Amino acid sequence: CWIDYILAGHNTLQRCLVGLHGHAYDITDFVESHPGSPETLLVQSGRDATSFFEDLGHSMGARRTALSMCAVMDRSCVEARRRNATDVTSVASAAKSSTQSSCGLCLSGNNKGIVPDRSDVATSRALAAEASGSIPMARSKPRRSGCLKRVRDDLNKGRIKAQLCADRWAASVGHGTSLENGMLGSVRVYWDPLRGEWLAWHTNMHFQPEFLDSSVTRFGKTS
């Protein structure tokens, strides 16, 4: 849930972040060279896009490319994979981080969370090696960290309700046709721990994020 909160609205050419398998990736420098079109990345970024990423069946090469852009890792997700690893490659790569703490977030890129320019091949490869284990090398289901299961389950239930409300709101405005700048894709929801409520945002026709009033996630709310 932290991914959707932290990354919300970061889906522009100036700053493009995406969540995959519990980790955050800075793909800003990669957007315009993406084989599947820059627009696809812009619409799908600014949130956890694991399901979308896996539904497309990205190749091992694409996954290795993603590793070189890892900005923030959730150690609990890597540790969960280490415990469930069955093949030699998975065990070996996960073992590299076995001496580190198995929970909490950590910055990649020399602990600064800075993703190197893609022209810096050596540094990119070093970051990919450091992030080894954060993305499975074959199509798989989204991972779940082993922390605070009950809290996570409650948040997932809240997300479903908030998304339903947001989808109803989008349908009521003609899926963006009555919005001043229109809307691409769907409305994204996220939990704001500081305000203690579900909020929403969307991407307009100019590929810019627009944050919505909190009433959007309470639209048509029932007990």
* CA–CA gap between residue 198 and residue 155 (Å, rounded): 10
Ramachandran category for residue 26: left, alpha or beta (phi over 0 → left; psi -120 to 50 → alpha):
beta
Task: Evaluate whether 119 touches 68 at the Cβ level (below 8 Å).
Answer: no
Tokens 């398998």 sit on residue: 21
Give the model's pLDDT for residue 88.
36
* CA–CA gap between residue 152 and residue 8 (Å, rounded): 19
List pLDDT tens digits, range 115-141. Answer: 667 677 777 777 777 777 677 778 877
List pLDDT tens digits, range 38-86. Answer: 998 999 999 999 999 898 888 888 888 888 898 988 877 765 555 554 4
From residue 53, how far is each of 64, 84, 134 by CA, in Å?
13, 21, 14
List pLDDT tens digits, range 142-201. Answer: 766 656 778 888 889 999 999 999 999 988 886 555 567 788 889 999 999 999 999 999
Threshold 0.75, pTM exceeds: no
* CA–CA gap between residue 49 and residue 192 (Å, rounded): 19
Beta-strand relationship, 70-74 and 105-107 = antiparallel
**Amino acid symbol at 185:** G
